[in-house]
């Protein structure tokens, strides 16, 4: 990712995946410097309450010596999922391409682990159906790390 006009924001949180307190940095662009508002520009690997495009409030923390996340001020409507390849007979890129055809972007951390975002205007039920199918076939495991309001399941009476 080009870093021109991008800054890093530190997130400190408890990771359910790593089962420990951890940090992750995210690339962001300035939305309003006076108020400390920044738009996240990449998909989080471990953070469970953020998605790219979210606008966050961050302040400089002298102890951390960098901008540090304080709260989300506007959600993008995107959802974030964590996916791990369980079957060595499949390639991560071939799995990622299935979801790219549905309009979902992803970023790899390794040959077996990637994160994916579902844009606000993508029908999550179709994405979930494919995720469930691949999981049932023991090809992947996945977690819905952050579901936006428009991707949440609603009980209909």
Q: What is the pLDDT of residue 155?
A: 44
CATH fold of 79-148: Alpha-Beta Plaits (3.30.70)
Q: Read off the pLDDT of residues 83-132 as tens digits, 9 standing for 90 and up.
A: 999 988 888 999 999 999 999 999 998 899 999 999 999 999 999 999 99
> Structure pTM?
0.86
Q: Tell whether the model's pLDDT for residue 156 goes beyond 50.
A: no
Per-residue DSSP letters for the chain? ---TT-EEEEEEEEETTTTEEEEEEEEEEEEETTTTEEEE-S--SS-SS--TT-EEEEEEETTTTEEEEEEEEE--S-EEEEEEE--TTS-HHHHHHHHHTTT-EEEESSSSEEEEEE-TTS-HHHHHHHHHHHHHTTSEEEEEEE--GGGS-----
Q: Tell whether the model's pLDDT for residue 67 goes beyond 60.
A: yes
In the chain, CATH 3.30.70 covers 79-148
Q: Read off the pLDDT of residues 68-78 as tens digits, 9 standing for 90 and up.
A: 999 999 999 99
Q: Of the given ranges (45-54, 55-64, 135-144), which has the lowest mean pLDDT? A: 45-54
Q: Read off the pLDDT of residues 4-56 as tens digits, 9 standing for 90 and up.
A: 689 999 999 887 767 888 899 999 999 999 999 999 999 999 888 899 999 99
């Amino acid at each position: 990712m080009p870093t021109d006009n991008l800054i890093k924001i530190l997130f400190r949180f408890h990771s359910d995946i790593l089962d420990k307190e951890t940090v992750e940095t995210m690339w962001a662009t300035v939305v309003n410097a006076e108020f400390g508002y920044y738009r996240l520009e990449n998909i989080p690997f471990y953070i469970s309450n953020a998605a790219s495009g979210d606008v966050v409030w961050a302040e400089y923390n002298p102890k951390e010596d960098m901008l540090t996340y304080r709260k989300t001020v506007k959600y993008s409507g995107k959802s974030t999922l964590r996916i791990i390849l369980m079957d060595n007979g499949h390639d991560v890129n071939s799995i990622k391409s299935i979801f790219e055809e549905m309009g979902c972007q992803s970023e790899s951390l390794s040959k077996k682990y990637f994160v994916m975002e579902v844009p606000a205007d993508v029908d999550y039920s179709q994405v979930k159906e494919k995720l469930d199918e691949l999981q049932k076939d023991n090809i992947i495991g996945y977690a819905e790390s952050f579901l936006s309001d428009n991707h949440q399941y609603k009980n209909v009476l």
